């Protein structure tokens, strides 16, 4: 019984990993993944570009994976995804604007 329970518990990270890999693959093939939380991804990307956001890619030595970060115009913020950027700086691009309770 124990193993089955453990198995069920460890399914979630697995799916998460798979989603991430599919996203990276899609990007490599030039197919941008649709992010359901974003109203207008290309509009957001254009706005970010004109506001001076930059991306930084770093290759991990151990597994060759590329980590991409979004750097804010001031350089003070490093965000892991375009969705985080939207939540942080462009809530108007979110399908359901998230009220931030950070004072």
| Segment 65-99, tens digit of pLDDT | 888 899 999 988 899 999 999 999 999 999 875 56
DSSP 37-96: TBS-HHHHHHHHHHHT-EEEEEE-TTT-PEEEEEEPTTS--EESSHHHHHHHH-GGGBSS
Please name which of 34, 36, 47, 37 lies closest in space to residue 90, comparing C-alpha atoms.
47
Higher-confidence position of 93 and 60: 93
Using pLDDT thresholds of 50, 70 and 90, give the confidence band for residue 50. Answer: very high
Using pLDDT thresholds of 50, 70 and 90, give the confidence band for residue 23. Answer: low
The answer to whether residues 41 and 82 touch, using CB atoms and an 8 Å cutoff, is yes
Q: Hey, which residues does 66 pair with through a beta bridge?
A: 59
Query: What pLDDT score does 79 carry?
Result: 93
What is the residue-averaged pLDDT of the chain?
77
Using pLDDT thresholds of 50, 70 and 90, give the confidence band for residue 18. Answer: low
Q: What is the mean pLDDT of residues 14-33?
A: 63
Query: What pLDDT score does 70 carry?
Result: 92
């Amino acid at each position: 019984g124990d193993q089955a329970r453990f198995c069920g518990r460890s399914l979630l990270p697995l799916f998460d990993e798979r989603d991430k890999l599919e996203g990276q693959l899609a990007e490599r093939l030039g197919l941008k993944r649709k992010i359901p939380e974003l109203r207008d991804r290309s509009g957001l990307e254009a706005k970010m570009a004109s506001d001076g956001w930059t991306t930084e890619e770093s290759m991990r030595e151990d597994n060759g994976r590329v980590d991409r970060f979004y750097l804010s115009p001031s350089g003070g913020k490093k965000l892991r995804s375009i969705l985080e950027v939207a939540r942080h700086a462009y809530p108007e691009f979110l399908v359901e604007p998230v009220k931030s309770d950070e004072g």
